[in-house]
């Protein structure tokens, strides 16, 4: 089963609206579904992903989605692939800074909240900067509005996540 489109638009229309080949849309949806399967291995319940159309029109947007899912599901391999070894994660609500990939992985492994749904509202990228915002719904029904602001090591596609400022309400 592929991830549902936000407004149930037929794939042919999605391709036409975004001026991309139908196979590109299908590859993107398959990528999201595979990522979802990989991220959920070892979790008792699947996390529902609601991601707006058009997130595949810039490679950096896909990296931000993958990294966000990797962080929320404590996927060390995803975090290692996309983050700089000297990454700094700033949790602004808790006024806590985590420096270094290993420290970030340790913190994430100690998280116990089970996530039911990740709904992404927007992803914005420009040069070596990006942001993602949306809503996280936990298994107990509580909701967390979030916005993560990313700084990459460079504007190149190969740039790694160097810093994240994370806002949670």
State the pLDDT confidence band at 1, using cuts at 50, 70 and 90. very low
Pairing of strands 143-152, 161-168: antiparallel
Provide the domain count of the chain: 1
Residue at 84 is within a domain:
yes
pLDDT tens-digit readout, 14-43: 667 766 666 566 556 655 665 555 544 444
Residue at 34 is within a domain:
no
Specify the pLDDT at position 67.
96
Q: How many CB atoms lie within 10 A of CB 94?
A: 9
State the pLDDT confidence band at 3, using cuts at 50, 70 and 90. very low
Burial bucket for residue 23 (CB in 10 Å: 0-12, 13-18, 19+): exposed
Specify the pLDDT at position 160.
97
Specify the pLDDT at position 2.
40
Average pLDDT over every residue of 124-147:
96
Average pLDDT over every residue of 48-70:
86
Average pLDDT over every residue of 121-141:
96
- Rounded to 5 degrees, φ, ψ at 58 are -145, 130
Measured CA to CA, the distance from residue 146 to residue 12 in angstroms comes to: 32
Residue at 146 is within a domain:
yes
Residue at 74 is within a domain:
yes
pLDDT at 131 exceeding the cut of 50? yes
- Whichever domain contains 61, its CATH number is 3.10.450.50
Instruction: Let me know the angle formed at the C-alpha of 72 by 85 and 74, rounded to the nearest 5 degrees.
Output: 55
Measured CA to CA, the distance from residue 59 to residue 44 in angstroms comes to: 31
Q: Which are the contacts of 167, defined by CB distance < 8 A and separation ≥ 6?
A: 92, 93, 146, 147, 148, 149
Residue at 9 is within a domain:
no
Measured CA to CA, the distance from residue 56 to residue 18 in angstroms comes to: 10
Residue at 128 is within a domain:
yes
pLDDT at 48 exceeding the cut of 90? yes
* Residue 60, domain extent: 46-168
pLDDT tens-digit readout, 64-121: 999 999 999 999 999 999 999 999 999 999 999 999 999 999 998 888 789 999 999 9
């Amino acid at each position: 089963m592929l991830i549902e489109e936000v407004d149930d638009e037929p794939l042919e229309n999605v391709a036409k609206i975004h001026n991309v080949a139908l196979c590109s849309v299908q590859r993107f949806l398959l990528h999201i579904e595979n990522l979802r399967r990989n991220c959920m291995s070892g979790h008792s319940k699947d996390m529902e992903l609601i991601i707006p159309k058009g997130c595949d029109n810039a490679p950096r947007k896909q990296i931000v989605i993958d990294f966000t899912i990797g962080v929320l599901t404590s996927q060390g391999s995803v975090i290692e692939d996309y983050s700089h070894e000297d990454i700094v994660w700033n949790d602004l609500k808790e006024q806590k800074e985590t420096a270094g990939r290993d420290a970030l992985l340790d913190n994430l492994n100690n998280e116990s909240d089970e996530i039911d749904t990740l709904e992404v509202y927007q992803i914005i990228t420009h040069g070596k900067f990006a942001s993602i915002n949306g809503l996280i719904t936990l298994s107990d029904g509580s909701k967390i509005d979030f916005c993560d602001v990313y700084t990459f090591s460079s504007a190149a596609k190969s740039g790694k996540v160097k810093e994240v400022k994370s806002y949670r309400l």
